[in-house]
Amino acid sequence: MAKVVITTSMFPEAVERLRAAGHAVAVHDGPLAPDARRSLAADALICPLSDRVDAELLEAAPTLRVVANLGVGVDNIDLAAATARRILVTNTPDVLTEATADLGWALLLAAARRIVEADQDLRRHGFPGWTFIPPHLGVDVYGRTLGVVGFGRIGQAMARRDKGFAMEVLCFSRTRRPEAEGALGVRHTSLDELLRESDFVVLCVPLTRETHHLIGERELALMKSTAILVNIARGPVVDERALVRALNAGRLRAAGLDVFEEEPRVHPDLIGMPNVVLTPHIGSATEATRRKMAELAVDGVLDVLAGRRPKHLVNPEAWPGKRNRKRGHGVESCGGGTG
Ligand code: NAP
Ligand code: GLV
C-alpha cells in the first residue's frame, strides 16, 4: 500500500480511485505545515501549483516517487532537484487549454468594454439613465490586432477564438509553428514588432528564467498607449511595478490580469485602478476542467505507483531504466516499477 498526500481540497471521486487501488490517501486542505514539510512520509504528492515544491521539501521526502502538479505550469517545482532524486513530476496539459483561453478572452473583452467598472457603478449608484456619451465608453475589439506571446496550446486557442472578431493576429514564440500559423492565418513577428502593432497583447508563455520580466519597462513603452495587456501566463512574466507605472501614467489603456507577481499578494495600486480587471488565478477554473485535471493527476500517480510511465511526464530524464539506483539519500523504492 502506497501513501498519497494531497495538499488541496479534492473531488471525492478522484480520492476514491486512489483508495480503490489500495492506496492510503491523506487529504490536507492546504499546503503542508512546516513540520510536515520537514519530514514528508509519502510515495506520491498531488499538489496545486500554489505549493512550493523545492529541494528542501524533496529532500525531506525520502520515499517520494511522484509529484503530480494540478496545473500545466510547473514553475513551482524544482525540477532539477526532483530529477536528481529520480522523483517523477507530472502536470495537466491540454484539458485546461480551452477554459484558460476562454478566461483570456473574458479579460480582454471585460477590459475593452469596461464591464466590471460599469457593473460596479450600476450596483453602487443605480442605473444612471441612458446617455449618448456614457462614462463607460469602451474600445472596439472587432477588426483590431491581437498579439499572442507564446504560441503553444493556450496561445493557439486564443488565436482560434479571434475568428468571430475578424482580427489580425500576430504571434511571437520561441519555436515557430508554421502549420498552426498557416491554418490560423497568424503572422509570426519579433516581440518588439508585436508589441508595437497590437491593440491587445495576451501572454501565454510558461514562467522560466528566459520569460521572467519578459514584459518590462522597455516592452511596455513599445506598446500603443491605447493598448490592453492581458496576462493569463504567470505574474512574474510581467514586471508588475513597471506595469503599474505605465497604467498610472496613461501609457497603457488597461489590463486584464489573472496572475500576479507575488501571489497571493496583489499590488495595492492595481486594486485601486478602474481600468484593470483582476481575477484570482482562475484560468482553468471551470468544474469540468478541474475534474479533468484531478483525473489526470490521479492517472499519473496510479501509473507511477504501478510502475507504468505516466502520460504527462515533465522530467522524462528521471524515468527510463534508472529506477533502482541508489539516491543520494536512501535507496529508491519504486514498487512494481519496470523502469
Ligand atoms: P505550451 O503549450 O508549452 O505553450 C507555451 C508556449 O510558449 C510555447 O509555444 C513555447 O515555445 C513558448 N515559449 C516558451 N518559452 C518562450 C520564450 N522564452 N520566448 C517565447 N516563447 C516561449 O503551454 P500552455 O499549455 O499553452 O501553457 C502556457 C502557460 O500558461 C503555462 O506554462 C502556465 O504558466 C500558464 N497557464 C496559466 C493558467 C491560468 O490559470 N492563468 C492556466 C493554464 C496555464 P516552445 O514550443 O519552444 O516551448
Ligand atoms: C495554471 O495556472 C496552470 O498552469 O495550469
Would strands 254-257 and 186-188 be described as parallel, antiparallel, or unpaired? unpaired
pLDDT of residue 330: 29
pLDDT of residue 336: 27
Determine the distance separating the centroid of ligand 2 and the alpha carbon of 325, expressed in angstroms: 32
Task: Find the ligand nearest to 206 CA.
Answer: 1
Q: Residue 3: what residue type?
A: K
pLDDT of residue 165: 98
Helix axes 97-113, 287-305, angle to 10 degrees: 150
Determine the distance separating the centroid of ligand 2 and the alpha carbon of 40, expressed in angstroms: 25
Q: Which three cell numbers stand for residue 235?
A: 505574474
Instruction: For residue 103, give the ligand 1 atom closest to its CA.
Output: 41
Instruction: For residue 211, give the ligand 1 atom closest to its CA.
Output: 18
Distance CA 137, CA 274 (A): 13
Q: Whose CA is nearest to atom 5 of ligand 2?
A: 71
User: Is 65 close to ligand 1, i.e. is its CB under 6 Å away?
Assistant: no
> Which residue spans within the chain are E strands per DSSP?
3-6, 24-27, 44-48, 66-70, 88-90, 145-149, 168-172, 186-188, 200-203, 228-231, 254-257, 276-278
Q: Show the domains of the chain with their CATH numbers.
A: 3-95+287-333 (3.40.50.720), 97-278 (3.40.50.720)
Residue 335 has pLDDT above 60, yes or no: no
Cβ atoms of 46 and 25 closer than 8 Å: no
For 193, the 3-state DSSP assignment is helix
User: Is 152 close to ligand 2, i.e. is its CB under 6 Å away?
Assistant: no
User: Is 235 close to ligand 2, i.e. is its CB under 6 Å away?
Assistant: no
Q: Look at 126-135, 158-167, 313-322 and tell me which has the smallest mean pLDDT.
A: 313-322
pTM for the whole thing?
Answer: 0.95
User: Is 205 close to ligand 1, i.e. is its CB under 6 Å away?
Assistant: yes
Distance CA 152, CA 214 (A): 16
User: What is the mean pLDDT of the segment spanning 48-77?
Assistant: 98
Determine the distance separating the centroid of ligand 2 and the alpha carbon of 331, expressed in angstroms: 33
Determine the distance separating the centroid of ligand 1 and the alpha carbon of 193, expressed in angstroms: 20
Q: Residue 123: which residues within 8 A CB-CB, separation 6 or more?
A: none
pLDDT of residue 70: 98
Catalytic residue list: 234, 263, 281
For 49, the 3-state DSSP assignment is coil
pLDDT of residue 334: 26
pLDDT of residue 272: 96
Residue whose CB lies within 8 A of the most ligand 1 atoms, among 94, 98, 173, 260, for a mutation test:
173
User: What is the mean pLDDT of the segment spanning 181-196?
Assistant: 98
User: Is 154 close to ligand 2, i.e. is its CB under 6 Å away?
Assistant: no
User: Is 72 close to ligand 1, i.e. is its CB under 6 Å away?
Assistant: yes
User: Is 71 close to ligand 2, i.e. is its CB under 6 Å away?
Assistant: yes
User: What is the mean pLDDT of the segment spanning 195-217?
Assistant: 99
Residue whose CB lies within 8 A of the most ligand 2 atoms, among 284, 312, 314, for a mutation test:
284
Distance CA 272, CA 255 (A): 13
User: Is 315 close to ligand 2, i.e. is its CB under 6 Å away?
Assistant: no
The 10s digit of each residue's pLDDT in 279-334 is 999 999 999 999 999 999 999 999 999 999 999 999 999 997 754 444 433 222 22
Average pLDDT, the chain: 94
User: What is the mean pLDDT of the segment spanning 268-273?
Assistant: 98
Q: Whose CA is nearest to atom 19 of ligand 1?
A: 174
For the residues of 242-290, what is the DSSP string, one character each? HHHHHHHTTSS-EEEES--TBTTB--HHHHT-TTEEE--S-TT-SHHHH
pLDDT of residue 324: 44
User: Is 92 close to ligand 1, i.e. is its CB under 6 Å away?
Assistant: no
